[in-house]
Amino acid sequence: MLFDHFEIPGLIAVTPRRHGDERGYFAETFRLDAFRAAAGDITFVQDNESLSARVGTVRGLHFQTGDFAQGKLVRCTAGALLDVAVDLRAGSPSFGRWAAIELTPENGRQLWIPAGFAHGFCTLKPDTVINYKVTAYYSAEHDKGLAWNDPAIGIEWPSVADPETLSAKDRAQPRLADLPENFRYEAQ
């Protein structure tokens, strides 16, 4: 597995090595010892999957707080998506900055998003399936969000991003300036 770190501390692009021949390929998509060596002492407790039927579907930006803050290891198993993470850690040198990566079954890439980030994505192909492992269980009480189009963050969404696909919850999320301090940056 290859682990590429972003300029934003904590975010990691994970690319499994593929061993192929005329039949196809084999890849380890997750290996705990290698992942922990790159990302720290992480334990996953739940796997999630969602299907977005339409191109341009926007989901997010989501995060959980307190004891239910989630780290996420995200991959795309069908279609294609632009996966986005926004640093919400107060005191971070990259607070309010975002990073994005295209995830597809063809490129096999994954994105590690530690707790303290908001996460969202936009589908680039129809019938896109996203799978992700999380480090804390879902908690409705701790489920929060951030406006996907906050101009103070300035995410460069793909031209296909369709605001009509947003859930009612995502349409009503606050801007970064209106969020309380939910996370504190701890230098690695």
Residues with active-site annotation = 62, 132
d(Cα 167, Cα 182) in Å, to the nearest integer? 23
> 3-class secondary structure for the chain?
CEEEECCCCCCEEEECCEEEECCEEEECCCCHHHHHHHHCCCCCCEEEEEEECCCCCEEEEEEECHHHCCCEEEEEEECCEEEEEEECEECCCCCCCEEEEEECCCCCCEEEECCCEEEEEEECCCCEEEEEEECCCCCHHHEEECCCCCCCCCCCCCCCCCHHHCCHHHHCCCCHHHCCCCEECCCC
Residues 6+ apart with CB under 8 A from 178: none
Q: How many residues does the chain have?
A: 188
